């Protein structure tokens, strides 16, 4: 008989974040599918608010490792807490959100407990009474169902793969799990967090739209000149108004290496494609981008695709976009920004 542990850390305000709530949905489905008990294991400064938030999720026990030492993300304390929770739950399957905090520690915890771990998991399934997980291989070209016999089995679920759990809050009774810490566990001290202002972030995983900029924005235009400053204004203006996430082609982010005028806010983190990212958004709009396969393979999880290109024979026209506007991206985005500003 399997025992499923939903493992998560709290946010700074003591609540559970979206990725954790999505993982809870998957953990619940797995427990129901297997007829196995579900337990919740929470780590944080104060875990009671988080336990109350998910009080009606059907967990048989709420286990918590709490205290000021466990509030910040720190390998030594997080791994000790996760290890203690997995042991206290006698968990055979531990399912956690693939946040940077969990990603950093759980492989080490699996090793300590003699278990195994799978990351970048997109779903947990049951077939013939056996648990399995789904994940993509070879740059999202093949999807596999993975089963393992070794326990405990740690699963890191990628964000955006399950709906966030949204049941009623209540009052949960949390069993405190003790973790003996030494001074060595607390040698690393988190002195603060440095993060860009949220409107300076161009990568927004929760955005409804992915806006992709290609190298065409920096190329010589029909008037014989380049217009990088206007390109920058148009793109940033659109992102600000539409709250879209910004993707790029490899050619555009590579241009800085070739000494050409580039869009300053672009980095390789924006690159979508075979050697870039595979973001998940309901819609995508590609501009000044040719739509070559190494780029569009990163659009696997973009449902509705549109592109603007001067070239009617660009690769988007070969069945890669739902709609191709054969037009000048400068002119189209100028007009779109005007319309958005007038709203």
Residues at the interface with ligand FAD (CB under 6 A): 214-216, 219, 221, 249-252, 271-276, 288-290, 292, 294-295, 298, 308-311, 314, 328-330
- Residue 92 or residue 218: which is nearer to ligand FAD going by CB? 218
Closest approach, Cβ 152 to ligand FAD, in A, equals 35
Closest approach, Cβ 74 to ligand FAD, in A, equals 33
Instruction: Kindly provide the b/e burial profile for residues 283-300, where b requires at least 16 CB atoms within 10 angstroms of the residue's own CB.
Output: bbbbbbbbbbeebbbbbe
Closest approach, Cβ 256 to ligand FAD, in A, equals 14
CB 177 within 8 A of CB 61: no
d(C-alpha 339, C-alpha 230), whole Å = 17
- Residue 135 or residue 250: which is nearer to ligand FAD going by CB? 250
- Residue 125 or residue 277: which is nearer to ligand FAD going by CB? 277
Q: How far apart, in Å, are the Cα atoms of 342 and each of 20, 95, 117, 208, 337?
A: 38, 47, 51, 21, 9
- Residue 2 or residue 292: which is nearer to ligand FAD going by CB? 292
d(C-alpha 211, C-alpha 95), whole Å = 32
Closest approach, Cβ 250 to ligand FAD, in A, equals 3
CB 122 within 8 A of CB 136: yes
Closest approach, Cβ 162 to ligand FAD, in A, equals 27
Query: Which token pair is 343?
Result: 């709203």
Vertex 208 angle, CA 25 and 315, to 5°: 115
**Torsion angle defined by CA atoms of residues 240, 241, 244 and 249, in that order, rounded to the nearest 10 degrees:** -60
Closest approach, Cβ 43 to ligand FAD, in A, equals 35
Give the count of beta carbons closer than 10 Å to the beta carbon of residue 137. 11
- Residue 8 or residue 266: which is nearer to ligand FAD going by CB? 266
- Residue 25 or residue 271: which is nearer to ligand FAD going by CB? 271
- Residue 53 or residue 287: which is nearer to ligand FAD going by CB? 287
Closest approach, Cβ 234 to ligand FAD, in A, equals 11
Sign of the dihedral through C-alpha 217, 220, 224, 230: positive
d(C-alpha 243, C-alpha 294), whole Å = 26
């Amino acid at each position: 008989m399997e025992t499923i542990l939903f493992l998560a850390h709290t946010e700074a305000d003591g609540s559970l974040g979206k990725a954790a709530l999505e993982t809870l949905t998957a953990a619940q489905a797995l427990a129901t599918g297997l007829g196995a008990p579900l337990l919740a294991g929470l780590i944080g400064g104060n875990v009671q608010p988080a336990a109350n938030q998910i009080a009606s999720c059907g967990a048989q026990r709420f286990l918590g490792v709490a205290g000021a030492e466990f509030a910040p993300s720190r390998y030594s304390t997080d791994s000790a807490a996760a290890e203690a929770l997995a042991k206290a739950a006698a968990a055979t399957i531990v399912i956690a959100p693939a946040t940077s905090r969990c990603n950093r520690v759980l492989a080490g915890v699996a090793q300590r407990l003699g278990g195994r771990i799978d990351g970048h998991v997109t779903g947990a399934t049951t077939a013939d009474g056996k648990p399995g997980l789904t994940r993509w291989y070879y740059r999202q070209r093949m999807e596999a169902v993975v089963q393992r016999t070794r326990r405990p089995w740690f699963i890191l679920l990628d964000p955006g793969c399950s709906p966030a759990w949204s049941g009623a809050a209540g009052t949960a009774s949390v069993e405190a799990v003790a973790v003996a810490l030494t001074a060595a566990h607390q040698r690393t001290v988190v002195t603060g967090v440095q993060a860009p202002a949220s409107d300076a972030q161009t990568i927004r995983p929760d955005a409804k739209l992915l806006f992709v900029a290609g190298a065409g924005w920096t190329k010589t235009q029909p008037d014989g000149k380049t217009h990088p400053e206007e390109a920058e204004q148009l793109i940033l203006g659109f992102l600000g108004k539409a709250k879209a996430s910004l993707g790029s082609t490899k050619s555009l982010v590579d241009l800085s290496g070739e000494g050409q005028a580039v869009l300053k806010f672009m980095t390789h983190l924006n690159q979508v494609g075979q050697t870039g990212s595979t973001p998940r958004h309901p819609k995508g709009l590609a501009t000044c981008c040719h739509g070559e396969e190494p780029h569009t393979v990163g659009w696997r999880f973009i449902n509705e695709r549109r592109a603007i290109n001067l070239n009617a024979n660009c690769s988007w026209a070969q069945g890669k976009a739902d709609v191709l506007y054969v037009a000048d991206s400068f002119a189209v985005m100028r007009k779109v920004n005007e319309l958005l500003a007038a709203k």
